[in-house]
Chains A and B, each alone.
Chain A
Amino acid sequence: MKRFLTPQGVVGFSLIFAIAAIGILAPLLVPRDYATRMKMAARLKPPSLEFWFGTDQLGRDLFFRVLLGAHTSLGIAAAAVGISIVIGLPLGIISGYVRGRTDNVLMRLVDTLLSFPALLLALTISAMLGPSIPNTIIAIGIAFTPFLARIIRGEALRVSAMPYVEAARAAGTGDVAMIIRHILPNVIPLVIVQGTISLAFAILAEAGLSFLGLGTQPPNSSWGLMIQASRDYLDVAPWTALAPGAAVALTVLALNMSGDVLRDVLDPRVRS
């Protein structure tokens, strides 16, 4: 517990909890039409007491749009990263542990996917499946898998060559037990760090897809969609980009900070 209480940990985790709470609670507490109600008289108003973050080109309150957009953005990102871990972790571990032909086949497959930029891949999948939130999740999840699988394979390869794996084999440990008891626990820290970084990228990927019109559909709000919409008004109303942009930046920062701390906390070598 003490390890969480570094300055970095306190700030990082407080931010994460706050952002997650907003993502979960805002849709329950804030009526949806706060974010969709248009006031034509109050278009592109700068931040004020009435509109804390200002308003957009349709006179919608940006504060509530950021608040309600958190749900979509974070939900999609978390689910997508979840998918990529669920597929990438076993793929990487099997590849790195079994090696040989299995590794070759799996990794050539991964390399093929990896040769497309992740965003392009997500775009293609999303375009094939059609624009909807579940499809966006699937698209980003699949697009992020090869990268994760590659990294996990490298780590599994490293861990498999450790003397304690040989020692366990000499002590009669079978393959399944070896993976569960020895390989997995040593790979998890990397997954956590990589997962938090991926989460940040997934938020941006969702923003990108929405920007291109394939992610979240209006009138629902997501941070990416808001950044997209702000593009045309950047010179007259920069706050329209600032509010969702700052939300993305803050979340990514909080994720990175807490990811580092979490890795240390989970490492028994540091935990003492």
Chain B
Amino acid sequence: MSGIDTMNPSPQPIIRVSGLRVEFETDDGVVAGVKDVSFEIAPGETLCVVGESGSGKSVTSLSILRLIEFGGGRIAGGALEFARESGEVIDLASASADVMQSIRGNEIGMIFQEPMTSLNPVFTIERQLTDGLRRHRGLAGEDARKRALELLREVRIPEPERRLSQYPHELSGGMRQRIVIAMAMACRPRLLIADEPTTALDVTIQAEILGLIDRLKRENGMAVLFITHDMAVVAQMADRVVVMYRGDVVEEGPVGRIFEAPREPYTKALLAAVPRLGEMQGTSGPEPMRILGDALPTAAPPRSEPSTKGGPLLDVRHLTTRFPVKGGLLRRTIAEVHAVEDVSFSLARGETLSLVGESGCGKSTCGRTILRLIEANSGEIQLDGWNVRSLGRLDLQRARRDMQMVFQDPFASLNPYRRLADQVAEPLVNFGLASGSEITDRVAHLFDRVELPRSFLRRFPHELSGGQRQRVAIARALAPSPKLIVADESVSALDVSVQAQVLNLLMELQADLGLSFLFISHDMAVVERVSHNVAVMYLGRIVEIGPRAAVFGNPRHAYTRSLLEAVPIADPARRRPHDDRSFRPLSSPIFPLGADIQPSIYDEVAPGHLVLKSAA
């Protein structure tokens, strides 16, 4: 019957992983990084493996290439059946080193997370692109060069001829990741493994790269194994999804089904914690994050309303911070990075103002300048009556009691050699706020406040998880009872479920203590949920500022719009048509000395909603 052909189930998969188990030899005996993982990927299909840190998703991808052996792991069981170009099916788990070498970078391509470090800085782009061609395809000289050019065009790099002779450091992050993708594509792999390929990239570049991978898959009929922690990226990319947790597959299915009707509690919890851009339409204040398992209505913290009594807590006027760029033989200043350029805003008591923007836009520098961890060039910072910029040493010390900071990386912002209690007590000691047993009591209360068990008091940072460490950092910031907390990407390094908990803790603290937050973040979906007001920064300036509902609901500046459009949404039904070309002009915040810098002038499009008039 003619129907049989179409009835035929999916074509022969390119890779079929069954019962994979990977073990690591450690000082404490054998630990299984992956316990029992099975899946298969058909040609032209994207399988997303999603999970939080420690779920074993990267171990799985490294096992397929047998790279895990170089990281101290061992494939202890299972089969990795790979359909080779010749039609032969081999088990990669038991293939010889020679066979593996002929497969790696040839029939299986790999894209790593860090475009900064996965390219070798001492070789030109041409050399790195043609490496695989020389080895696997026997191409050399002009032929290899031609193919390399073709590849660069395929990944849509502007001016490909010029790129060939350039070195990685001459290219931007997005461009480097395109090169890495071109390298992976060089020998037309049957399977492409992408391990968090966009995690280190800005959201607009992420959108381009995702579009690129998707197009290459369609054009070449590759199978794609896409590893990520980001549910929004999964929703945009996947045909099918494998959810992993602690080395096991929790759930597998088509992407629509996983998002609409997740079966396993873990998948449900994971999806619940993901903020979805646009879901806050019609509300004005912040909302707590959803956490599955918490009885939401009762656990919801009281909404805090900013208070206008007594004027704003923080008032920043025309703040400008520039860094010198040294060069020449005498190391003289030849130009300046305008990290923060004529930035003005004010922050009420109990209010959260978010500074959003992509890397290098000056949002972190702005926060640090306000705390005077970096000195400003000009402008005014008024904090609750203190003129922060003109404070002497002693007064600054007093003013710092009122403004504390929570940093991005909870692994690096705690001293590995000090006990947690001592670290939280540090501001109390520094500011002379308590002594003797009072310190111990107050630290213990702070631990209660951030919901950490008191048994952690005597521990060291490495014994805690990322979320717990960030709670310690929050406790330290709370210790001197500040009025303002600058939270610099404070939840960016955390897994999504932990991120939701920490955000809720922050909102709860705000409601209870009337804290003001300057919330610095690149994550639009999180910002939408937590802020009263939002300021969008680009190249050192605020391009748009206003109430959150206005900026997200009615973005007026072109950059705000492009930013919002680039954000992937955690909903496979709302996929965005990705255009993988890069339209953004290369702009830089570096200006020569004495350049004519225009002040920031704003249009007030609605009460409190300001838009930068012209790009200076």
Contact = CB atoms under 8 A, between A and B. Distances in A.
Interface of A: 162-164, 166-174, 177, 181-182, 185-186, 267-269, 272
Contacts of A170: 371, 373, 400, 404-405
A5 to B, nearest CB: 12
Contacts of B431: 172
A167 B418 contact: no
B605 to A, nearest CB: 36
Interface in B423-439: 426-427, 430-431
Contacts of B460: 268-269
Given A163-B407, A172-B430, A267-B416, 12 more contacts: A166-B407, A167-B414, A168-B426, A170-B371, A170-B405, A171-B480, A172-B401, A173-B426, A181-B426, A186-B415, A268-B417, A269-B460
Contact of A164 (B400, B413, B477, B480): B413
Contacts of A171: 400, 404, 426-427, 430, 476-477, 479-480
Contact of A163 (B397, B401, B413): B413
Interface of B: 371, 373, 397, 400-401, 404-405, 407-409, 412-418, 422, 426-427, 430-431, 460, 462-463, 473, 476-477, 479-480
For B371, B404, B415, B480, the residue with the greatest tally of chain A CB atoms inside 10 Å of its CB is B415
Contacts of B479: 171
B122 to A, nearest CB: 23
B contact face: mostly helix, strand, loop, or mixed = loop
A227 to B, nearest CB: 40
The 7 closest A-B pairs by CB, nearest first: A172-B430, A185-B417, A268-B460, A171-B427, A163-B412, A269-B462, A163-B413
A181 B418 contact: yes
A186 B417 contact: yes
B374 to A, nearest CB: 10
A173 B415 contact: no
Nearest to A186: B417
A172 B480 contact: yes
Contacts of B416: 186, 267-269
A155 B307 CA distance: 47
A167 to B, nearest CB: 5
Contact of B415 (A164, A174, A267): A164
Q: Which of A171, A174, A186 has the most CB of B within 10 A?
A: A171
A173 to B, nearest CB: 5
A111 B427 CA distance: 39
Given A166-B373, A172-B401, A268 B412 contact: no
B417 A172 contact: no
Contacts of A267: 416
Contact of A167 (B401, B417, B476): B476
B367 to A, nearest CB: 10
Contacts of A185: 415, 417-418
Contacts of A173: 426, 430
Nearest to B406: A167
Contacts of A169: 373
23 contacts: A162-B412, A163-B408, A163-B412, A164-B414, A164-B415, A166-B407, A167-B405, A167-B407, A167-B413, A168-B415, A169-B373, A170-B371, A170-B373, A171-B427, A172-B401, A172-B427, A182-B415, A182-B418, A185-B417, A186-B417, A267-B416, A269-B462, A272-B462
A164 B426 CA distance: 12
Contacts of A272: 462-463
B430 A177 contact: yes
Contacts of B480: 171-172
B473 A167 contact: yes
A172 B408 CA distance: 19
A267 B417 CA distance: 7
A96 B463 CA distance: 29
Contacts of A167: 405, 407, 413-414, 473, 476
Contacts of A177: 430
Contacts of B427: 171-172
Nearest to B405: A170
Nearest to A184: B417
Nearest to A3: B27
A164 to B, nearest CB: 5
A211 B422 CA distance: 52
B22 to A, nearest CB: 23
Nearest to A271: B460
B411 to A, nearest CB: 9
Contacts of B397: 172
B430 A163 contact: no
A220 B418 CA distance: 47
Contacts of B476: 167, 171
A253 B192 CA distance: 49
Contacts of A174: 430
A44 B580 CA distance: 84
